[in-house]
Amino acid sequence: MARSLQAQQRELLFTAVDASDQIVMITGADQRIVYVNGAFTRVTGYTPDEALGRNPNFLQGPGTSEATRVDLHRAVEQGQRVSAEILNYRKSGEPYWVDVSIVPVSDRTGSIIHWIAIERDITARKAQEQETARLAMEDHLTGLPNRRAAEARLQVEFSRARREGSAFAIALVDVDRFKLVNDQYGHHAGDLALIHLAKLLARNMRSGDWIARWGGEEFLACLHALDARGALIAGERARKLVRGQPVKLPQGDLSLTISAGIALCGPDSDSLDAVLANADALLYQAKQSGRDQVLCAGASGGRRRTPIWEGSQVQTALREGRVVAAYQPIVDLHTGDVVGEEALARIVGSGNAPIPAGRFILAAEQLHLAAAIDRTISQRALERVASPDKNGNGGARFINLSAQFLGEPEHVSGLLRQARALGLLGGDANPVVIEITERQTGELAVLYRQLKPLVDEGFRLALDDFGSGNASFMYLTDLPMSFVKVEGWMVGRVAQDPRIRRLVESIVNTAARFELKTIAECVETSESADVLRDVGVDWAQGHFFAEPQLAQ
């Protein structure tokens, strides 16, 4: 009776296993298949006769992970149960994924006599995961790789370049005046334009080169095996291609132009970020210089050569501590006495020659490095004020702070912490003067809030580049200024042009009514100094008096 019940239970168990929708496979201790259920045949396409006596690894193929194979083999060799997700292949050659659990079966002596593998078909789930991953790495509008995918591919390209000693070019491409397309024709037209450009540029990539949507109306292209001249030619070809093939819109044909900045990346490149920064700086220069042009680092023969200091060099100089302060004396035009000094940013180049800010400040602003430069220079300047043996010429100490610096409260609070630690706050009159430029953008109310913590601690304010725009008088009325610095272009012409002389004179009179001191910048000749003195300018600085000197 008991045996009959056991037989019934075995028959019931066999029926349940065979009817299961999960694959059940049993092997002997030698890992040869001795049993497969019905699900095995339904999933793999192999009949029991085709599977019995074979090692289960006959289901594996070229796409099966070698690491997973090794893990499974190691567990079986050690007699341990193991789980994994593995890619197998059906009899038809079609791949499928399973989640497999393998457990050993031992006899009374502890010897393994069988292995049971239970496999769940997860092909649909894997396909969904792969589709999700693909969508996460694909730009939904253009179908190109998105920025995330491009960054990953660039890391692979950068590693290969270093490993193999090869080089490639990175081109950042931007659609000119794209905002006008959206404003005039609507965002749907803008989308059609981007799709058109993506297809056009992708179709004309060489084999092995690739393009991605970097963001907004900006694309990134990776070009292999090209020197600077070849990269420039490729960029020009793309520019002309876009210009010659307008996008078809319901409203009619729309002609587009592009600007591009190209930088080379090789085994000696400092970092991928530095190369991207260089390309971005060149793109910025191309846009600022009139658009519809291609600029390439190290290449001549473009539509216009770039005078910009390569952005990557600014980053490298900051990292290597080669951004330093140079100090230019400020003199009283009426007594000749030195009454202050201005801290100016310089980069120490080859041969320790200082590179003036005009060579790198545009790149620094475009790459959002201006705040880092300001932080470096302001730290050195405050140390100089506080140190008795580095006190320079005494008097007022002028420090330039950019909108990027003032826009970050932690930068301002950091400057105040340093000034407090150096004993520059809470005592006698604070000698430090913060220079802001009339060219700084944004609401004056916001700028005032940014400056207020400094003003409250006794820092005075100077308006630099007075006369460079139409906001000058608003700055004087809405901000607590102490100094006005006359724009250099006026100073350079004041001795020759009576109209400029009258203009400077009116600035002096206005400043006097506001009880502000005037400072003339960029004084290069004795004639200019004499005229400035005659019209009532208080102080002056420039090469006529003294060139900026690096701190010793």
pLDDT in tens, 249-306: 888 899 999 999 999 998 888 889 888 988 988 898 888 878 899 999 876 544 443 4
Pair 486, 520: CB distance under 8 Å: yes
Amino acid identity of 327? Y
Task: Calculate mean pLDDT across residues 407-423.
Answer: 93
Q: What's the rounded Cα separation, in Å, for the pair 264 and 241?
A: 22
Q: Which residues of 232-268 are buried (b: 16+ CB within 10 A; e: fewer)?
A: bbbbbebbeebeeeebebeeeebebebbbbbbbbeee
Report, as residue numbers or ranges, the catalytic residues.
Answer: 217
Fold of the 313-550 domain: TIM Barrel (3.20.20)
Pair 332, 518: CB distance under 8 Å: no
Task: Calculate mean pLDDT across residues 510-530.
Answer: 94
Q: pTM to 2 decimals?
A: 0.52
Give the CATH class of 137-308: alpha beta
Of 416, 543, 401, 378, nearest to 464 (Cα)?
Answer: 401
pLDDT bin (cut points 50, 70, 90) of residue 393 is: low
Kindly give the interhelix angle for 444-456 and 409-421, rounded to the nearest 10 degrees. Answer: 20
Parts of the chain belonging to CATH 3.30.70.270: 137-308
Q: 21-35, 458-472, 491-505: lowest mean pLDDT where? A: 458-472
Residue 511 has a CB neighbour count (10 Å cut-off) of 23
Tens of pLDDT, residues 195-249: 999 999 999 999 899 999 999 999 999 999 888 889 999 999 999 999 999 999 8
- Res. 469: pLDDT tops 70: no
Question: Could you give phi then psi for residue 545, rounded to 5 degrees?
Answer: -90, -50
- How many residues in the chain? 552
Parts of the chain belonging to CATH 3.20.20.450: 313-550
Pair 11, 18: CB distance under 8 Å: no
% of residues, the chain, pLDDT over 90: 64
The rounded mean pLDDT for the chain is 88
Parts of the chain belonging to CATH 3.30.450.20: 11-128
**CATH number 3.30.450.20 given to 11-128:** yes
* Ramachandran category for residue 30: left, alpha or beta (phi over 0 → left; psi -120 to 50 → alpha): alpha
